[in-house]
Structure 1
Amino acid sequence: MAKNQTKRQKKVSASLDLINFDENIFYNIFKKLEADTLYNLRVFCKQWYNLILDPHFANSNLPYAEPGILTQTHAHKGYSLRLIKMKEGKVKVEKLNLYFEEPIRASCNGLVLMKDLPEPGDLSVGNLLTRKGTKLPLETCNLPLHNVFGFTHIKETGEYKIVCQMFDDNIGSIVYKILTLGSNEWRQVKGPQLASNKHEPLSINSCVYSLIIDDEIEEEFLFSIDTADETSHKMALPLFRRPTFICPVDCNLMDLGGEISLVAGFVYNGYAEVWVLYNDQEFFIEKEWTMLHRIYFRVERFGRQDVLQFVVPIGSLCNGKLILFVHADNPFGSCYVADMEMKHVVKMLPNVKANRYHCISHLNSLISCQSL
């Protein structure tokens, strides 16, 4: 009896020592932990709860978060979510046990943009980890929502912005409107209002990108909206060296370690080129395309090497060192990972299925949309 009481007293004493520990030490240790680990630790005591859910701490923890690839697969309950990420040097797949009737449209610093939630026609922002969200004021825009275009963060100001396509009956065409989270004012983007995007848009930092087809000249180009100054821009794609004149090229945009990249797949030739759009602000050089990698799709199967044809990227890991691919003609087929340092080695990931049309870069964070 006395021994058990002594043990309990020691446990209580140890807990009190932790609680009374210098908060600055906890702050510096905790900010380097994964957000999901921190969220579980919040219930230990009131001191930890207040620290972990503090908005300033959430921003301090954000640089240590490792982005993964959020896959969304249609199931009988809706779209099921899985997060592909690097853990302990291996590619792991985490099931999130979340289902939505519509796929998530964009992700930014752990916040996700969702359409038709909580009601059809609504637009909302939420955090998948804390499972808290807020509805956006669509009713303050004088135009009906046509499509969700992007979700960005301006690092210099700390602002989060939503970009949507609206249909203007007065001019009979699409216009782009921007909303800053925390406000009710929708503002029109200055510049070209181009609507016929070929693929799903891609949000990186303060910009949203999309591939557009010019029907008059039958060529693709890059369309972007910079939400920092709320202007739109149009840029030509890089010039590819085709193996043959009739060789089709399948172009896809991708986030490569925080840079916008274009993966040009030479469909029947078993390789792809990775181009990155660099902007050298130090030397005031205009943005230009640079070819970074050429990947040869050869995979070891049953003791022999096969050449993979028509594979498309779904995202990157490890700051762009790994790129994941799936078969374009089979969106639920096998997933392959290409190591950029190895250039041509492609390995198949077992038990990973991904739909190319609903994969976005995502990280877990403690950012709260209520505090913006």
Structure 2
Amino acid sequence: MAEKACKKMSLLKLAEERALMKKKLDEQKQKQQLDSVPYLPKDCVSNILIRLPIESLQRSRFVCKPWYGIIKSPTFIRDNLHRAEKVMIFLAPVKTLIRRRYDHLEFVENPNTFSVESKVFELKSVHMLLQPVIESPFKYVTKYMVFEDGKIAIRDYNATCLGKIRASCDGLIVVDNKLEKGELVIMNPVTREVNLLPLGTIYPPHDESFGLVRCGSGGYKLVHLFRDEFHYIGCEVLDIGEKSWRVIDGPSFGLVKWFGYYPVFAIGALHWVPEVDHSEYIVTMTIDDEKFHKIMLPKASRFNDRIMEAYECLCFVTHEDINEISIWVLGSVSDTWTKKYTIAIGCIRDLVPLYFSRFKWEIYFMDKDGSVFGFDFEDEHMKKFTTMKGCFMLPGAEYMVHVNSLVSWQIKENDHE
């Protein structure tokens, strides 16, 4: 009996030893397999990540610390910006609820929605004092529109705000802070980075215009053009990150009846069309010296004409007649306009230019019924984009050229990694 028990114990011990040996062999084999995976240099990983869409990049930051460091680096952010295609950003009205909670008011948002006003409360470290509660005030959800493969895609940042978008540059936008008169907020709707801007000169909204621009150093300036109490045009400039605005001389070449559409940033300057219809010149402010200039247009601008940035130049897209649109180009503030292209196909009188693609030889137009068209300069073909009826022309919506990026106003091009 004792002999059988001893033999049984020996067999059990042998089985345990074999199981342990097998486990060690498996671990060794697994380690060899891991060691055989080639090492990917940081530049190679960065080259792969830079090709991901902006939504995937946001998620990829949290895969591991090395990836987070790559994606947050100034070099990666700059390279990503240079790859970003233009989109049309706009605000769509939504209904939300403000409820009374203890001693303050609270915005009720959908899950995963980012509220600019909630962030403002956080930045100020104060609660909104009790006021008469508006049960269903209108807020706006920030969306953007992409033109690709002959279709229009509308996408959502899941970010809400009460005020309108005032300016856009490199993926940054400036928005009204409706919680305090005259105050502005700068934000990146992709990264959801938000900061308050100091109060400037307060004038009625219909008598002012804002332009956000990138400086040579990589920092950003906000230019505020406004009509003063004597009906002359004044100007102030804010270097983003500074605590106060600087007053500068406005344009000295006469009264401006109206500021027209959003200013255009191109060839190192901001440009305004002073009147919507029949303007013979544009108002230009060079960014480096903050001086104003009058630049004559090659022909008077009409209601459906636009100035636009395209391929590092300033373009004037004008309707010559019912069937012809001309594109004039200005390479620098000191140059003269050159007629570069003529689009002559069918009845195109009511087409309003939207923007030029950054990476394709295409220009996009909107018709009066909200239809979108794209003209390919290589094929000389005008195509209509497919979309749901009425999805582009939202009542009261204003559309602005924008890019989706990871840019921060706190990071300059000369910052070290």
Provide the TM-score with structure 1 as the length reference.
0.76
Q: 1:184 to 1:69 in 2, by over 3 A?
A: same
The answer on 1:210 being equivalent to 2:269 is: no
Deviation at 1:152, TM superposition (A): 0.4
Which structure has more strand as a fraction of its residues?
1
CA displacement, residues 76-117 of structure 1 (integer Å, 9 cap, x when unaligned): 554454434465x65552412444433322221111111235
CA displacement, residues 287-310 of structure 1 (integer Å, 9 cap, x when unaligned): 111122222343xxxxxxxx3441
Q: Residue type matched to 1:69 in 2? A: M
Q: Distance in 1 between matches of 2:270 and 2:375?
A: 26
SS of the aligned residue for 2:88 comes to strand
Q: 2:297 aligns with which of 237, 241, 254?
A: 237
CA displacement, residues 211-264 of structure 1 (integer Å, 9 cap, x when unaligned): 11499xx74311111222111111111037x9xxxxx77421222233221111
Q: 1:41 aligns with which of 47, 60, 63?
A: 60
Q: 1:322 aligns with which of 333, 355, 362?
A: 362
Q: Distance in 2 between matches of 1:165 and 1:115?
A: 16
Q: 1:272 aligns with which of 306, 320, 325?
A: 325
SS of the aligned residue for 1:59 comes to helix
SS of the aligned residue for 1:199 comes to coil
Aligned to 1:70: 89
Q: 2:336 aligns with which of 288, 309, 334?
A: 288
The answer on 1:173 being equivalent to 2:243 is: no
Q: Distance in 1 between matches of 2:313 and 2:75?
A: 26
Q: Distance in 2 between matches of 1:337 and 1:79?
A: 28
Q: 1:197 aligns with which of 249, 259, 262?
A: 259
User: Is the Cα contact below 8 Å between 1:202 and 1:254 reproduced in 2?
Assistant: yes
Count of residues in correspondence between the two structures: 338
Provide the TM-score with structure 2 as the length reference.
0.68
Q: 1:291-370 residue pairs with structure 2 within 5 A? A: 291-298=339-346, 307-319=347-359, 321-328=361-368, 330=369, 333-343=370-380, 345-351=382-388, 353-354=392-393, 358-370=398-410
Q: Distance in 2 between matches of 1:359 and 1:258?
A: 21
Deviation at 1:136, TM superposition (A): 0.6
Task: Let me know the Cα RMSD of the aligned residues.
Answer: 3.8
% identical equivalent positions: 25
Structure 1: 5+ residue runs without aligned partners? 243-247, 281-285, 299-306
Q: Distance in 1 between matches of 2:408 and 2:371?
A: 35
Q: Distance in 2 between matches of 1:47 and 1:172?
A: 56
Structure 2: 5+ residue runs without aligned partners? 1-21, 96-137, 413-417
Q: Residue type matched to 2:387 in 1? A: P
Q: 1:225 aligns with which of 279, 285, 302?
A: 285
User: Is the Cα contact below 8 Å between 1:72 and 1:354 reproduced in 2?
Assistant: no
Q: 1:104 to 1:213 in 2, by over 3 A?
A: closer
Q: Distance in 1 between matches of 2:386 and 2:338?
A: 29
> Structure 1 stretch 230-239 or stretch 74-83: which is displaced more?
74-83
Q: 1:80 to 1:312 in 2, by over 3 A?
A: farther
SS of the aligned residue for 1:27 comes to helix
Q: Distance in 1 between matches of 2:93 and 2:343?
A: 30
User: Is the Cα contact below 8 Å between 2:319 and 2:349 reproduced in 1?
Assistant: no
Runs of 4+ with >6 A deviation:
none
